Amino acid sequence: MSLTHKAPPVVPQDSEPHPPATPPKHKLWFYRFDTKRTPYVFISPFFILFAIFGLFPIVFNGIVALRTWRLDDPDRNGWAGFDNFERLLHDEDFWNALGNTFGIFILSTVPQLLIALMVANLLNRKLRGTTWWRVGVLLPYVTPIAASTLVFAVFFSRDNGMANWLLSLVGFTDLGDPLDWRAYKWSSWIAIATMVNWKWIGYNALLYLSAMQAIPKDVYEAAAVDGAGPWRQLWRITVPMIRPVVIFTVVLSTIGGLQLFNEPMLFEANPAAATGGSNGQWQTIAQLIYKVGWKDLNLGYAAAMSWALFLIILIVAALNAFITNRLGGGRR
Amino acid sequence: MSRFGMRGAALIAAGLAGTLAISACSGQSLEGGGDKAADGQVTLKVNFWGDMGLDALKAAYEKEHPNVKIVLNSGEYNAQHEDLQKKLVAGSGAPDISAVDEGFMVQFRGQADKFVNLLDKGAATYESKYLPWKWQQSKSADGKQIGLGTDVGGLAMCYRSDLFKKAGLPTERDAVSKLWPTWDDFINVGKQYVDKTGKKFVDSATNMFNPVLAQQPQGFYNEQDQLQMEAGPKVAFEISMKAVKAGLSANLVSFQPNWDQGFKKDQFAVLACPAWMIGHIQDTAPDQKGKWDIAAIPGGGGNWGGSWWTIPKQGKNQDEAYKFVEWMIQPQQQIEVFKTVGNLPSQPALYKDPAVLDYKKEFMSNAPTGQIFASTAENLKPQYLGKRNGPTRVAVENVITRVQQGSLAPDSAWPEAVKEATKAANS
């Protein structure tokens, strides 16, 4: 309301000195509208779209979470209170999925950001064909997830998979008794984390690179004069100076990692199953939500899970941003 | 406050403009995708899974009825049924015609008010033509008929005669049938094969579990829809565990890319064959023509799968849809489907039809598929499959897969199967 009390400077100045020549009322109204309201009109599309496609689904989801809503048994509906959330606490599948999500998240995010940093550091040097390299690292990012995941699913297949063949070259597996990547937690996590890393390293590297190029060269020169090697320069100069971007990428990959869906879904022998392996070895929360909602047709419970995931992401992203900030030498 | 009101009005105006723009777009696309065009053209969308031999039928029907366009949409077995369920509840989006398998029929006939009662369209004339139990299975408790039967899945055992020959086993179909009157005999033959060749015998233990379960008097559920794991499922589970322990299984997941590869790489020599499986084999491994043959299934009889055509009520072209369904279940078309993909009709008169009886499937080494499957179908005793049969079977199959992957010991797998099945039954 405080805004509205400040009278627009243009109108009174224009009208008061010449009382007889007051512009017509509709024109006045138009000027006032133009200066005060138009900006809101211009930014309104975002908020309207957000309200329809962002806010409404979130609120509606919250309501559904408090209800019983079964698609396979339409007669069973009504308010359920916090039953869905209570069930969540005792649901093995949920905790298993939570563990998987975090396992894959750590296996993908940590190496991904570290390698991206290295790649960016390399790209920041004087190279031949700079543009070629930069476009090259971005190629995985523009590949459709479904396409790349299907290729990876074949790559990590038990019989005749390339991953097993490569491992056999260095003597890790025996092709007569090949490793079944989908049978165990650790192997399936590695396979999925590989897909995520492959896709996002280049993207993050370019973000880091753009931040690195804003660092003045003389800082490095001074450091070099003082005898700091490339490694020391990276950790003591580069990383602290691109800290905002690092925090940004950490938060983004946290959100992406915790919502992981496409890769685990298509990694399955039967992509329509959504069980994340024969025993949920790699079932992520997003996948479990899909399964409960659209395969078990229990929408109320799935909505409760979505809300739980939302809260978890909020907490973890905040925590990560805080830790990264500290590690980068920030004071706040 | 008036100023605030003005700001509010401006926001609302902008909001309205935005929504109008959005609805304008969506309205356009909705109209563009309409079912009925101005010139009386009708598009019928048909959902099913695998290969039901519809490609040839579609062409023939469209030729006869130039105003009808048929869109075939084949998907994954479980996904198609779940999708249908969703769309039924949502009230829109369901296909004009949907195939429903026996594993999901109980679930859908419980919602008969969401399907067209085919008796209203005059389907009653076909009752006498069907196997009585096939007609009954798709009928709701209050007497509505929601589906017209397509096929039944009488069981046989498909085998690779070329691989049998290499292993020193008989190759002629009667001799092979004599090798395995029981499932234990079957496992012994498998052991001989594995010892001799060093290759696996069956594709997956789940494809032993399913036919053995189909042969039991009771499946997962009793008629009160209570889970009964100790009866039929336990017998089937134990036989599949025996096969895993004997090292017979290639541990492939059926109907998936690796399974398809397994065909081509000769990773298994036998495959439990409901009549509809023949279509899968010839689609997956077309170059193995003449290498497959069909023998009797151990344990005798049993039905695995078999479907109905249903017409969801929300469809706009119910009459045209019924006409097409009615046409598809006529003897001529049923025989055509039987010849192309092997699906065995569910109308017993056809079992006596020379076109079926004398038919020899060239792909399966000229096996008389008509005789083989017709004789199994007439002696079938159908099982009651509960409302949660579909998810329960997936849960138990997953436990078997875990055993095959080596992450669960065969001897300790049964309690786990019971636990997972219970979870699926109650989810």
Percent of chain A clearing pLDDT 90 (strictly above) = 41
What domains can be seen in chain A, in order of their start residue? 25-65 (no CATH), 91-330 (1.10.3720.10)
The structure tokens 């523009």 sit at: A142
Residues 6 or more apart whose CB falls under 8 angstroms from that of A272 comprise B75, B76, B78, B79
pLDDT at residue A134 tops 50: yes
Banded pLDDT at B24 (limits 50, 70, 90): very low
Nearest to A8 by CA among A42, A24, A31, A39: A31
Q: How many angstroms away from the CA of A220 is the closest CA of chain B?
A: 51
**B406/A269 touch (CB, cutoff 8 Å), yes or no:** no
What integer is the mean pLDDT of B287-303? 89
Count of beta carbons in the 10 Å neighbourhood of residue A273: 23
A278 closest CB neighbour out of B3, B85, B398: B398
Residue-level pLDDT at A320: 84
Host H or E run for residue B310: strand B307-310
Burial of A145 (0-12, 13-18, 19+ CB in 10 A): middle
**B10/A41 touch (CB, cutoff 8 Å), yes or no:** yes
Banded pLDDT at B39 (limits 50, 70, 90): low
CA distances from A155 to A158, A160, A186, A266, B24 (A): 9, 8, 17, 13, 45
Count of positions (residues) in chain B: 427
Helices B277-284, B331-341: inter-axial angle, 10-degree rounding: 50
Whether B334 is covered by a domain: the verdict is: yes
Banded pLDDT at A329 (limits 50, 70, 90): low
CATH code, domain carrying B340:
3.40.190.10
List the single best residue of A44, A154, A179 to mutate versus B (max B Cβ within 10 A): A44
Domain that holds residue B327: 42-152+305-365
Whether B351 is covered by a domain: the verdict is: yes
List the single best residue of A2, A278, A282 to mutate versus B (max B Cβ within 10 A): A278
Whether B425 is covered by a domain: the verdict is: no
Q: How many angstroms away from the CA of B14 is the closest CA of chain A?
A: 6
Measured between alpha carbons, how far is B94 from B90 in angstroms, rounded to an integer? 9
Count of beta carbons in the 10 Å neighbourhood of residue B226: 10
Q: How many angstroms away from the CA of B382 is the closest CA of chain A?
A: 24
Nearest to A164 by CA among A150, A176, A178, A177: A178
Given a contact cutoff of 8 angstroms between Cβ atoms, the answer to whether A196 and A108 are in contact is yes
Q: Which residue has the higher pLDDT, B166 or B13?
A: B166
The amino acid occupying position B22 is: I
Q: What are phi and psi of B149, to 5 degrees?
A: -65, 140
Burial of B398 (0-12, 13-18, 19+ CB in 10 A): buried
A40 closest CB neighbour out of B10, B19, B405: B10
Contact list in B for residue A36 (CB cut-off 8 A) is 7
Percent of chain A clearing pLDDT 70 (strictly above) = 92
User: Hey, is the C-beta of B50 within 8 angstroms of any chain A C-beta?
Assistant: no
Measured between alpha carbons, how far is B125 from A283 in angstroms, rounded to an integer? 50
pLDDT tens-digit readout, B227-272: 999 989 999 999 999 999 999 999 888 888 788 889 988 999 999 9
Residue of A nearest to B3 (CA): A4
Residue of A nearest to B79 (CA): A272
Q: Structurally, how many domains does chain B consist of?
A: 1
Residue-level pLDDT at A326: 80
Establish how many alpha carbons lie within 13 A of residue A198's alpha carbon, considering only the half-sphere containing its beta carbon: 15
User: Hey, is the C-beta of B93 within 8 angstroms of any chain A C-beta?
Assistant: no
pLDDT at residue A124 tops 90: no
Measured between alpha carbons, how far is A236 from A240 in angstroms, rounded to an integer? 7
The amino acid occupying position A191 is: A
Least confident of A83-97, A134-148, B71-85, B379-393: B379-393
Q: How many angstroms away from the CA of B178 is the closest CA of chain A?
A: 33
Residue-level pLDDT at A2: 46
Contact list in A for residue B10 (CB cut-off 8 A) is 33, 37, 40-41
B86 closest CB neighbour out of A271, A275, A294: A294
pLDDT tens-digit readout, A5-31: 554 555 445 545 555 567 778 888 888
Residue-level pLDDT at B14: 47
Q: How many angstroms away from the CA of A218 is the closest CA of chain B?
A: 51
pLDDT at residue A178 tops 50: yes
Contact list in A for residue B25 (CB cut-off 8 A) is none
Whether B296 is covered by a domain: the verdict is: no
**A270/B76 touch (CB, cutoff 8 Å), yes or no:** yes
Positive or negative torsion for Cα B245, B250, B256, B257? positive
**A275/B398 touch (CB, cutoff 8 Å), yes or no:** yes
What integer is the mean pLDDT of B317-333? 94
Residue of B nearest to A5 (CA): B3
Whether B401 is covered by a domain: the verdict is: no
B107-127 as b/e, with b when 16 or more CB fall inside 10 Å?
Answer: bbbebbebbbbbeebebeebe
pLDDT tens-digit readout, B153-190: 888 999 999 999 999 999 999 999 999 999 999 999 99
What residues of chain A have any CB closer than 8 angstroms to a CB in chain B? 1, 4, 33, 36-37, 40-41, 44-45, 48-49, 52, 71-72, 74, 154, 157-160, 180, 182-184, 269-273, 275, 278-279, 292, 294-298
ipTM: 0.74
Residue of A nearest to B77 (CA): A272
Banded pLDDT at A156 (limits 50, 70, 90): very high
Residue of B nearest to A301 (CA): B427
Banded pLDDT at A155 (limits 50, 70, 90): very high
Banded pLDDT at A73 (limits 50, 70, 90): confident
pLDDT tens-digit readout, B213-233: 999 988 999 988 899 999 899
Q: What is the mean pLDDT of chain B?
A: 87
**B14/A41 touch (CB, cutoff 8 Å), yes or no:** yes
Banded pLDDT at A37 (limits 50, 70, 90): confident
Whether B348 is covered by a domain: the verdict is: yes
Residue-level pLDDT at A18: 56
Contact list in A for residue B76 (CB cut-off 8 A) is 270-272
Count of beta carbons in the 10 Å neighbourhood of residue A89: 9
Whether B312 is covered by a domain: the verdict is: yes
Residues 6 or more apart whose CB falls under 8 angstroms from that of A123 comprise A130, A133, A134, A137, A205, A209
B 365-394 residues with CB < 8 A to A:
391, 394
Q: Strand B292-295 to strand B68-75: parallel, antiparallel, or no bridges (unpaired)?
A: unpaired
Helices A243-258, A92-123: inter-axial angle, 10-degree rounding: 150
Contact list in A for residue B49 (CB cut-off 8 A) is none
**B89/A49 touch (CB, cutoff 8 Å), yes or no:** no
Residue-level pLDDT at A27: 85
Least confident of A169-178, A227-236, A253-262, B158-167: A169-178
Given a contact cutoff of 8 angstroms between Cβ atoms, the answer to whether B156 and B298 are in contact is no
What token pair was written down for A212? 């690195």
Nearest to A95 by CA among B427, B398, A103, A251: A103
Instruction: Specify which residues B70 forms β-bridges with.
Output: B44
What integer is the mean pLDDT of A86-102? 92
Contact list in B for residue A276 (CB cut-off 8 A) is none
Measured between alpha carbons, how far is B373 from B296 in angstroms, rounded to an integer? 9
Percent of chain B clearing pLDDT 70 (strictly above) = 91
What integer is the mean pLDDT of B143-150? 94
Nearest to B183 by CA among B211, B219, B159, B203: B211
Banded pLDDT at A3 (limits 50, 70, 90): very low
Nearest to B202 by CA among B238, B245, B154: B245
Q: How many angstroms away from the CA of A254 is the closest CA of chain B?
A: 30
**B3/A4 touch (CB, cutoff 8 Å), yes or no:** yes
What token pair was written down for B173? 């179909």
Contact list in B for residue A74 (CB cut-off 8 A) is 89, 111
List the single best residue of A181, A295, A298 to mutate versus B (max B Cβ within 10 A): A295
Measured between alpha carbons, how far is B211 from A77 in angstroms, rounded to an integer? 37
**A297/B257 touch (CB, cutoff 8 Å), yes or no:** no
pLDDT at residue A281 tops 80: yes
Whether B372 is covered by a domain: the verdict is: no
Residue of A nearest to B17 (CA): A45
SS3 B157: strand
List the single best residue of B401, B403, B422, B423 to mutate versus A (max A Cβ within 10 A): B401
pTM of the model: 0.79
Distance of CA A332 to the CA centre of its chain: 24
Residues 6 or more apart whose CB falls under 8 angstroms from that of A127 comprise A133
User: Hey, is the C-beta of B20 within 8 angstroms of any chain A C-beta?
Assistant: no
Strand order in the sheet with B292-295: B270-274, B155-160, B292-295
User: Hey, is the C-beta of B402 within 8 angstroms of any chain A C-beta?
Assistant: yes
The structure tokens 């189909």 sit at: B214
Nearest to A157 by CA among B379, B262, B361, B113: B262
Alpha helices in A66-184 (DSSP H): 83-89, 92-123, 130-142, 145-155, 162-169
pLDDT at residue B30 tops 70: no
B407 closest CB neighbour out of A49, A72, A279: A279
pLDDT at residue A330 tops 70: no
**B257/A154 touch (CB, cutoff 8 Å), yes or no:** yes
Establish how many alpha carbons lie within 13 A of residue A218's alpha carbon, considering only the half-sphere containing its beta carbon: 0
Residue-level pLDDT at A278: 87
What token pair was written down for B108? 């859908």
**B10/A33 touch (CB, cutoff 8 Å), yes or no:** yes
Measured between alpha carbons, how far is B181 from B158 in angstroms, rounded to an integer? 15
Residue-level pLDDT at B11: 46
pLDDT tens-digit readout, B73-102: 998 888 899 899 989 988 899 999 999 999
Residue-level pLDDT at A70: 85
The structure tokens 């109907």 sit at: B255
What token pair was written down for B185? 């005999």
Burial of B142 (0-12, 13-18, 19+ CB in 10 A): exposed
Residue A148: DSSP 8-state: H
Instruction: Specify which residues B100 forms β-bridges with.
Output: B308
Burial of A171 (0-12, 13-18, 19+ CB in 10 A): exposed
Q: How many angstroms away from the CA of A144 is the closest CA of chain B?
A: 21
List the single best residue of B20, B104, B253, B264 to mutate versus A (max A Cβ within 10 A): B253
Distance of CA B94 to the CA centre of its chain: 19
List the single best residue of B268, B407, B419, B423 to mutate versus A (max A Cβ within 10 A): B407
Given a contact cutoff of 8 angstroms between Cβ atoms, the answer to whether B114 and B88 are in contact is yes
